Amino acid sequence: MPMPATAPVTEFELALPAARLTGRRWGRPGATPVLAVHGWLDNAASFDRLAPLLVAGLDWDLLAIDLPGHGHSSWLANGYSQAQHAAALLGLLDALDWQRVTLLGHSLGASIATLLAASLPERVQQLVCIDALGPLSAPPAQTASRLRDYLLAVQPGQRRPPRPLPSPAHAVRARVQANGLSPANARALVERGLRQDGDHWVWRTDPALTLPSAVYMDEAQVQALLAAISCASLLLQADPPGRFIAPELQQQRQACLPGLQSVRLGGGHHLHMENAHAAASAILAFVNKTESKA
């Protein structure tokens, strides 16, 4: 796919009762609405490479949002869960009067997108998941110990302030090492994810996002959710496979959506950044095929 001329991008901000949400927006206002949702501890810059390629080939109004507690969006006072994130995104869709949307999610964002697609099928036209299909699960036997870990972690004095960084370059190196990102892609996330505080730098991300989750669904609940998704769906899987979901569970989850299209692409967990052209080609082919059947 040839590289298009740089698509104009604008900054987005909207104050909702639950949170002030920010993001980046590409495409034509009034075109097909698309909400892009990034992964855990990332931000809207996760889609800086992919979004221009998509709006060059599709008549889309693509909004990449900073989830609450991430990027430039405000923090939540009472902690975080995927259901809370989904509720915030539903509030955003209502505020924009986006009654039926395409959801494009990576990792955590893909998990949140599946929650919306399963519970509100009338609001989701198409679903594109990048290296995740449904939320993480845990056996019921782990419920008590997981809740214990959460309760102890949220007690006063247990949370440490974020460690200051001497420069953005230190943050870039940390993201490269942690995620296998190229320095350029790590820099895009870091530039949106840091703020200067005197002579040092700190992450904008709410430290509460790193606390253990109080409750996980078990795998049967996750698969029941996936089975409730009725819209056309695409899964872009990383090659080599990611480490978050066991291969046998991944196969079981895919079988819950009989019409699911699955494509495996190189580029690691952040394949939409590291292999943006291939990811865009797969998404364009999926959308064109889906719309031709409509």
DSSP assignment of 81-120 equals -HHHHHHHHHHHHHHHT--SEEEEEETHHHHHHHHHHHH-
List 46, 73, 107, 111, catalytic entry: 107
DSSP 41: T
3-state secondary structure of 16: coil
Question: Does residue 107 have an active-site annotation?
Answer: yes
Work out the number of other CB atoms within 10 angstroms of the CB of residue 14: 16
108 contact partners, CB below 8 Å, separation of at least 6: 37, 38, 39, 40, 67, 82, 85, 132
Q: Pick from 92, 132, 142, 91: which is nearest to 112 by CA? A: 132
DSSP 217: B
> Which tokens hold the place of 92?
């955003």
Work out the number of other CB atoms within 10 angstroms of the CB of residue 259: 10
Angle at CA of residue 107, ends 225 and 218, nearest 5° = 35
Q: Pick from 112, 90, 135, 124: which is nearest to 233 by CA? A: 124
Angle at CA of residue 188, ends 184 and 193, nearest 5° = 140
- Residues serving a catalytic function are 107
